[in-house]
Amino acid sequence: MKNKKPLIAAGAIALIAIAGGTFAYFRYTETFENNFGLAKEEISFAETFKSPDNWSPCTETAKEFKVTNTGNIAVNARVKFTEGWVKLDASGQPTSQTLPLTVNNENMAVVHFANPSDWVLNADGWYYYQGDIAATNGETSLFIDKVTFNCNAGNDYSSARYTLNLQAQTIQATAAARQAAGWNY
C-alpha cells in the first residue's frame, strides 16, 4: 500500500489539474461589422427622336442615340438593334404580315451610323463602343444619327410601319469583367 499512496496522490492531482484547467480559462468573442459601399453602375440613354407621322420614300429622320454613364465607375457599352416592317390594315392597325427588310439588296430603311470607327460590329451581333465611358456623366459618341426611308421602296411599304428597337448593355470597364461576361471584342 505504501507504493499506492503516491500513485493515488499523483492521480488526484492530475484530476484536479485537468478539471481546473478545463474551467480555468475565460472566453471572449466580439464581432466587427464592416460594410462596403459598392460602386454604382448606372447609365442613361440619350435619344433624340420624334416619330414621323408621314414618313415617305427619300425622307430622312433624325434618330440620335448614345449612352451616358451616370454611375461612379467607368463602364464599357454595347448596343444591338432589331428592325422590322409590318403591313397595316385599312384602319392603320398592324397585321401579322411582315415585309422584307431588303428589296433587290437595298435596305428599305437605311440606318446611318454616326461614328462607325467608335462602334464596331462583332460576330455576336452587338456593336461595341471602342473605349471606356468615364464615370459621372461620361458619354459615348453617337451610335446612330438618322434613318432614311429608301427612295426605291415600292407600294407595299406605303401602308406599313417600320420599327427600330435598340438594346444597350454596360459592364464595369475592366478586362476581367469583359472576359467573365464574354465581351470578346
- For residue range 40-71, what is the model confidence (pLDDT) as tens digits? 777 788 888 898 988 999 999 999 999 999 99
Higher pLDDT, 25 or 107: 107
CA–CA distance, 177 with 79 (Å, rounded to integer): 17
The alpha helices in the chain, defined as continuous H runs, are 4-23, 175-181
- What are the E-state strand segments in 56-126? 60-69, 75-88, 94-99, 102-103, 106-107, 109-113, 119-121
- For residue range 108-152, what is the model confidence (pLDDT) as tens digits? 999 999 999 999 999 999 999 999 999 989 999 999 999 999 999
pLDDT range class, residue 1, cuts 50, 70, 90: low
Question: In the chain, where are the structural domains located?
Answer: 43-181
pLDDT range class, residue 36, cuts 50, 70, 90: confident
Contact between 61 and 52 under an 8 Å Cβ cutoff? The reply is yes
